[in-house]
Amino acid sequence: MDSSTAKILDGKALAEQIQTQLRQEIEQLQPQIGRPPGLAVVMVGDNPASAAYVRNKERSCAHVGIASLGKHLPSTTSQTELAELIQSLNQNETVDGILVQLPLPAGLDADSLLQTIAPEKDADGLHPINLGHLVRGEPGLRSCTPAGVMRLLEHEKIEIAGKHAVVVGRSILVGKPVALMLLEANATVTIAHSRSPNLAEITRSADILVAAVGRPQMITQDMVKPQAVVIDVGINRITDDSGKSRLVGDVDFENVRRVAEYITPVPGGIGPMTVAMLLENTVLSYKNRHQV
Protein backbone atom coordinates (compact mmCIF):
# COMPACT_ATOMS: atom_id res chain seq x y z
CA MET A 1 0.00 0.00 0.00
CA ASP A 2 1.20 3.50 -0.79
CA SER A 3 2.34 5.02 2.51
CA SER A 4 0.94 8.39 1.44
CA THR A 5 -2.67 7.13 1.55
CA ALA A 6 -4.85 6.39 4.55
CA LYS A 7 -5.18 2.95 6.10
CA ILE A 8 -8.59 1.52 5.14
CA LEU A 9 -10.70 0.44 8.14
CA ASP A 10 -12.22 -2.84 6.99
CA GLY A 11 -15.65 -3.08 8.63
CA LYS A 12 -16.53 -6.10 6.51
CA ALA A 13 -13.69 -8.23 7.91
CA LEU A 14 -14.43 -7.23 11.52
CA ALA A 15 -18.18 -7.86 11.03
CA GLU A 16 -17.34 -11.39 9.79
CA GLN A 17 -15.25 -12.03 12.94
CA ILE A 18 -18.13 -10.82 15.15
CA GLN A 19 -20.59 -13.04 13.27
CA THR A 20 -18.31 -16.07 13.77
CA GLN A 21 -18.15 -15.37 17.53
CA LEU A 22 -21.94 -14.99 17.70
CA ARG A 23 -22.46 -18.26 15.81
CA GLN A 24 -20.25 -20.10 18.35
CA GLU A 25 -22.07 -18.45 21.26
CA ILE A 26 -25.50 -19.43 19.87
CA GLU A 27 -24.33 -23.04 19.33
CA GLN A 28 -23.43 -23.20 23.05
CA LEU A 29 -26.56 -21.44 24.35
CA GLN A 30 -29.25 -23.01 22.17
CA PRO A 31 -29.22 -26.46 23.88
CA GLN A 32 -29.61 -24.78 27.33
CA ILE A 33 -32.36 -22.37 26.26
CA GLY A 34 -34.12 -24.78 23.91
CA ARG A 35 -34.52 -22.42 20.96
CA PRO A 36 -32.40 -20.08 18.85
CA PRO A 37 -32.52 -16.28 19.29
CA GLY A 38 -35.28 -14.68 17.17
CA LEU A 39 -35.20 -11.36 15.30
CA ALA A 40 -38.38 -9.91 13.76
CA VAL A 41 -37.74 -7.35 11.02
CA VAL A 42 -40.92 -5.45 10.16
CA MET A 43 -40.91 -4.00 6.66
CA VAL A 44 -43.79 -2.02 5.15
CA GLY A 45 -44.12 -1.43 1.40
CA ASP A 46 -41.61 -2.20 -1.31
CA ASN A 47 -38.85 0.43 -1.11
CA PRO A 48 -36.06 -1.31 -3.11
CA ALA A 49 -33.24 -0.06 -0.83
CA SER A 50 -35.12 -1.24 2.27
CA ALA A 51 -35.82 -4.60 0.63
CA ALA A 52 -32.09 -5.04 -0.07
CA TYR A 53 -31.19 -4.14 3.54
CA VAL A 54 -33.79 -6.56 4.90
CA ARG A 55 -32.53 -9.41 2.66
CA ASN A 56 -29.02 -8.71 3.89
CA LYS A 57 -30.15 -8.80 7.54
CA GLU A 58 -32.06 -12.06 6.97
CA ARG A 59 -29.01 -13.67 5.31
CA SER A 60 -26.82 -12.58 8.22
CA CYS A 61 -29.34 -14.03 10.72
CA ALA A 62 -29.22 -17.39 8.90
CA HIS A 63 -25.43 -17.27 8.88
CA VAL A 64 -25.14 -16.98 12.69
CA GLY A 65 -28.13 -19.17 13.63
CA ILE A 66 -30.69 -16.49 14.55
CA ALA A 67 -34.28 -17.32 13.57
CA SER A 68 -35.45 -14.59 11.21
CA LEU A 69 -39.12 -13.86 11.89
CA GLY A 70 -39.62 -11.24 9.17
CA LYS A 71 -42.95 -9.52 8.64
CA HIS A 72 -43.26 -7.97 5.17
CA LEU A 73 -46.45 -5.92 4.95
CA PRO A 74 -48.13 -4.03 2.08
CA SER A 75 -47.80 -0.24 1.90
CA THR A 76 -51.54 0.01 2.63
CA THR A 77 -50.95 -1.24 6.22
CA SER A 78 -52.37 1.21 8.77
CA GLN A 79 -50.67 2.68 11.83
CA THR A 80 -53.07 0.70 14.09
CA GLU A 81 -52.31 -2.60 12.34
CA LEU A 82 -48.58 -1.97 12.71
CA ALA A 83 -48.90 -1.06 16.39
CA GLU A 84 -50.91 -4.26 16.98
CA LEU A 85 -48.29 -6.33 15.17
CA ILE A 86 -45.52 -4.86 17.35
CA GLN A 87 -47.56 -5.54 20.50
CA SER A 88 -47.97 -9.18 19.44
CA LEU A 89 -44.20 -9.46 18.81
CA ASN A 90 -43.57 -7.94 22.27
CA GLN A 91 -45.64 -10.80 23.75
CA ASN A 92 -44.09 -13.50 21.55
CA GLU A 93 -41.66 -15.60 23.61
CA THR A 94 -39.62 -16.67 20.56
CA VAL A 95 -38.83 -13.05 19.57
CA ASP A 96 -35.80 -11.45 21.26
CA GLY A 97 -35.29 -8.50 18.92
CA ILE A 98 -37.71 -6.32 16.95
CA LEU A 99 -36.68 -3.88 14.25
CA VAL A 100 -38.87 -1.61 12.13
CA GLN A 101 -37.13 -1.01 8.79
CA LEU A 102 -37.06 2.73 8.08
CA PRO A 103 -38.13 4.76 6.18
CA LEU A 104 -41.81 3.86 6.45
CA PRO A 105 -44.28 4.83 3.68
CA ALA A 106 -45.73 8.35 3.92
CA GLY A 107 -48.51 8.74 6.45
CA LEU A 108 -47.06 6.34 9.04
CA ASP A 109 -45.53 7.73 12.23
CA ALA A 110 -42.23 5.94 12.86
CA ASP A 111 -41.58 7.59 16.24
CA SER A 112 -44.72 6.28 17.91
CA LEU A 113 -44.06 2.78 16.48
CA LEU A 114 -40.48 2.75 17.79
CA GLN A 115 -41.87 3.66 21.22
CA THR A 116 -44.31 0.72 21.01
CA ILE A 117 -41.41 -1.78 20.89
CA ALA A 118 -40.61 -3.29 24.31
CA PRO A 119 -37.29 -1.62 25.31
CA GLU A 120 -35.70 -5.02 26.10
CA LYS A 121 -36.48 -6.20 22.53
CA ASP A 122 -35.37 -2.97 20.83
CA ALA A 123 -32.68 -4.48 18.57
CA ASP A 124 -32.02 -1.10 16.90
CA GLY A 125 -31.37 0.66 20.23
CA LEU A 126 -33.67 3.58 19.33
CA HIS A 127 -36.31 3.39 22.07
CA PRO A 128 -36.29 6.52 24.30
CA ILE A 129 -35.49 4.30 27.33
CA ASN A 130 -32.41 2.82 25.63
CA LEU A 131 -31.30 6.27 24.42
CA GLY A 132 -31.79 7.44 28.03
CA HIS A 133 -29.47 4.66 29.25
CA LEU A 134 -26.88 5.87 26.73
CA VAL A 135 -27.18 9.49 27.94
CA ARG A 136 -26.70 8.29 31.53
CA GLY A 137 -23.81 5.95 30.61
CA GLU A 138 -25.79 2.91 31.80
CA PRO A 139 -25.75 -0.53 30.13
CA GLY A 140 -28.47 -1.18 27.59
CA LEU A 141 -29.10 -1.93 23.93
CA ARG A 142 -27.13 0.57 21.86
CA SER A 143 -27.97 2.08 18.45
CA CYS A 144 -26.39 -0.25 15.91
CA THR A 145 -24.58 2.13 13.55
CA PRO A 146 -22.91 4.25 16.28
CA ALA A 147 -22.02 1.08 18.22
CA GLY A 148 -20.46 -0.26 14.99
CA VAL A 149 -18.38 2.92 14.62
CA MET A 150 -17.07 2.57 18.18
CA ARG A 151 -16.29 -1.14 17.82
CA LEU A 152 -14.27 -0.49 14.64
CA LEU A 153 -12.27 2.29 16.35
CA GLU A 154 -11.60 0.03 19.37
CA HIS A 155 -10.61 -2.91 17.17
CA GLU A 156 -8.03 -0.76 15.36
CA LYS A 157 -6.81 0.53 18.76
CA ILE A 158 -7.41 4.12 17.65
CA GLU A 159 -6.94 6.48 20.58
CA ILE A 160 -10.19 8.32 21.39
CA ALA A 161 -9.57 9.76 24.86
CA GLY A 162 -8.44 13.37 24.72
CA LYS A 163 -9.01 13.66 20.97
CA HIS A 164 -11.28 16.20 19.31
CA ALA A 165 -14.12 14.36 17.57
CA VAL A 166 -16.39 16.21 15.15
CA VAL A 167 -19.70 14.59 14.18
CA VAL A 168 -21.35 16.09 11.09
CA GLY A 169 -25.04 15.22 11.38
CA ARG A 170 -27.45 15.31 14.31
CA SER A 171 -29.95 12.54 13.58
CA ILE A 172 -31.30 10.35 16.36
CA LEU A 173 -30.17 7.33 14.27
CA VAL A 174 -26.47 8.23 14.16
CA GLY A 175 -25.34 11.78 14.90
CA LYS A 176 -26.58 12.21 18.46
CA PRO A 177 -25.86 8.68 19.74
CA VAL A 178 -22.36 8.50 18.21
CA ALA A 179 -21.54 11.89 19.77
CA LEU A 180 -22.62 10.53 23.18
CA MET A 181 -20.56 7.35 22.73
CA LEU A 182 -17.46 9.36 21.77
CA LEU A 183 -18.03 11.56 24.83
CA GLU A 184 -18.30 8.43 26.99
CA ALA A 185 -14.90 7.36 25.56
CA ASN A 186 -13.45 10.72 26.77
CA ALA A 187 -13.23 12.56 23.46
CA THR A 188 -14.02 16.27 23.27
CA VAL A 189 -17.02 16.30 20.96
CA THR A 190 -18.41 18.91 18.57
CA ILE A 191 -21.67 18.27 16.71
CA ALA A 192 -21.92 20.16 13.42
CA HIS A 193 -24.61 20.00 10.75
CA SER A 194 -25.77 21.46 7.45
CA ARG A 195 -26.58 24.80 9.09
CA SER A 196 -23.28 25.20 10.94
CA PRO A 197 -21.48 28.30 9.69
CA ASN A 198 -17.80 27.70 8.77
CA LEU A 199 -18.36 23.95 8.53
CA ALA A 200 -14.98 23.36 6.85
CA GLU A 201 -13.22 25.21 9.68
CA ILE A 202 -14.94 22.99 12.26
CA THR A 203 -14.20 19.72 10.42
CA ARG A 204 -10.54 20.70 9.90
CA SER A 205 -10.11 20.80 13.68
CA ALA A 206 -11.16 17.14 14.04
CA ASP A 207 -8.77 14.36 15.02
CA ILE A 208 -11.73 12.01 14.46
CA LEU A 209 -14.30 13.08 11.87
CA VAL A 210 -17.63 11.23 11.60
CA ALA A 211 -19.71 12.10 8.52
CA ALA A 212 -23.41 11.21 8.89
CA VAL A 213 -25.38 13.70 6.81
CA GLY A 214 -26.63 11.67 3.83
CA ARG A 215 -25.16 14.03 1.21
CA PRO A 216 -22.93 12.37 -1.39
CA GLN A 217 -19.22 13.23 -1.14
CA MET A 218 -19.92 16.38 0.86
CA ILE A 219 -16.72 16.09 2.93
CA THR A 220 -13.89 17.13 0.62
CA GLN A 221 -10.11 16.93 1.04
CA ASP A 222 -9.79 20.57 2.14
CA MET A 223 -12.23 19.92 5.02
CA VAL A 224 -10.03 17.25 6.62
CA LYS A 225 -7.06 17.73 8.92
CA PRO A 226 -3.95 15.83 7.79
CA GLN A 227 -3.65 12.47 9.64
CA ALA A 228 -7.28 12.58 10.85
CA VAL A 229 -9.42 9.46 11.34
CA VAL A 230 -12.37 9.72 8.92
CA ILE A 231 -15.48 7.60 9.52
CA ASP A 232 -18.00 7.72 6.70
CA VAL A 233 -21.50 6.64 7.75
CA GLY A 234 -23.25 7.88 4.58
CA ILE A 235 -24.74 5.51 2.03
CA ASN A 236 -25.87 7.36 -1.09
CA ARG A 237 -26.70 5.93 -4.50
CA ILE A 238 -25.51 8.15 -7.33
CA THR A 239 -25.78 7.74 -11.09
CA ASP A 240 -22.79 8.70 -13.24
CA ASP A 241 -22.87 10.25 -16.73
CA SER A 242 -23.06 6.84 -18.41
CA GLY A 243 -26.22 5.97 -16.41
CA LYS A 244 -24.47 3.48 -14.09
CA SER A 245 -25.41 3.73 -10.43
CA ARG A 246 -23.05 3.09 -7.53
CA LEU A 247 -22.89 3.60 -3.78
CA VAL A 248 -20.83 6.44 -2.33
CA GLY A 249 -20.49 7.85 1.15
CA ASP A 250 -20.67 11.38 2.54
CA VAL A 251 -16.88 11.65 2.06
CA ASP A 252 -15.00 12.20 -1.21
CA PHE A 253 -13.07 8.97 -0.59
CA GLU A 254 -10.41 9.11 -3.34
CA ASN A 255 -9.24 12.61 -2.41
CA VAL A 256 -9.70 12.45 1.37
CA ARG A 257 -7.69 9.21 1.63
CA ARG A 258 -4.64 11.22 0.49
CA VAL A 259 -4.65 13.30 3.69
CA ALA A 260 -6.31 11.12 6.34
CA GLU A 261 -4.48 8.53 8.47
CA TYR A 262 -7.48 6.15 8.58
CA ILE A 263 -10.66 6.07 6.50
CA THR A 264 -13.70 3.79 6.14
CA PRO A 265 -14.79 2.82 2.63
CA VAL A 266 -18.38 2.81 1.30
CA PRO A 267 -19.48 0.12 0.84
CA GLY A 268 -17.59 -2.22 3.19
CA GLY A 269 -16.97 0.09 6.13
CA ILE A 270 -19.70 0.93 8.63
CA GLY A 271 -22.58 -0.83 6.80
CA PRO A 272 -21.50 -4.40 7.69
CA MET A 273 -20.75 -3.26 11.27
CA THR A 274 -24.34 -1.99 11.65
CA VAL A 275 -25.69 -5.45 10.79
CA ALA A 276 -23.17 -7.15 13.13
CA MET A 277 -24.29 -4.91 16.03
CA LEU A 278 -27.95 -5.67 15.26
CA LEU A 279 -27.20 -9.40 15.56
CA GLU A 280 -25.16 -8.79 18.73
CA ASN A 281 -28.05 -6.80 20.28
CA THR A 282 -30.45 -9.66 19.46
CA VAL A 283 -28.14 -12.20 21.14
CA LEU A 284 -27.66 -9.86 24.15
CA SER A 285 -31.43 -9.56 24.53
CA TYR A 286 -31.75 -13.38 24.20
CA LYS A 287 -29.20 -13.89 26.98
CA ASN A 288 -30.72 -11.19 29.23
CA ARG A 289 -34.23 -12.61 28.86
CA HIS A 290 -32.96 -16.08 29.85
CA GLN A 291 -30.45 -14.77 32.42
CA VAL A 292 -27.45 -16.57 30.95
pLDDT per position as a tens digit, 106-156: 999 999 999 999 999 999 999 999 999 999 999 999 999 999 999 999 999
Q: Within the chain, which residue ranges are assigned CATH 3.40.50.10860?
A: 34-118
1.10.3720.10, 3.40.50.300, 3.40.50.720, 2.60.120.10: CATH of 145-271:
3.40.50.720
Q: What is the residue type of 167?
A: V
3.40.50.720, 3.30.200.20, 3.40.50.620, 3.40.50.10860: CATH of 34-118:
3.40.50.10860
Is 235 annotated to bind a ligand? Reply is yes
Rounded to the nearest 5°, which phi and psi values hold at 206?
-85, 130
Is 170 annotated to bind a ligand? Reply is yes
- Cα–Cα–Cα angle for 266, 267, 269, rounded to 5 degrees: 75
Q: Is 91 a catalytic site residue? A: no
What's the Cα-to-Cα distance from 217 to each of 108, 146, 288, rounded to whole Å?
Answer: 30, 20, 41
Residue-level pLDDT at 1: 44
Q: Of residues 19, 71, 122, 124, which has the active-site annotation? A: 124
Q: Is 57 a catalytic site residue? A: yes
Intervals of the chain under pLDDT 70 = 1-3
* Residues ≥6 apart with Cβ < 8 Å to 196: 202
Q: What is the four-CA torsion angle of 200, 202, 207, 213, rounded to 10 degrees?
A: -70
Q: What counts of helices (H) and strands (E) characterise the chain? A: 10, 12
263/222 Cα distance (integer angstroms): 15
60/38 Cα distance (integer angstroms): 12
Is 23 annotated to bind a ligand? Reply is no
Q: Of residues 19, 71, 96, 101, which has the active-site annotation? A: 101
Q: What pTM value is reported for the model?
A: 0.94
Q: Within the chain, which residue ranges are assigned CATH 3.40.50.720?
A: 145-271
Q: Is 101 a catalytic site residue? A: yes
Q: Of residues 19, 57, 71, 207, which has the active-site annotation? A: 57
Is 169 annotated to bind a ligand? Reply is yes
Residue-level pLDDT at 3: 59
263/1 Cα distance (integer angstroms): 14
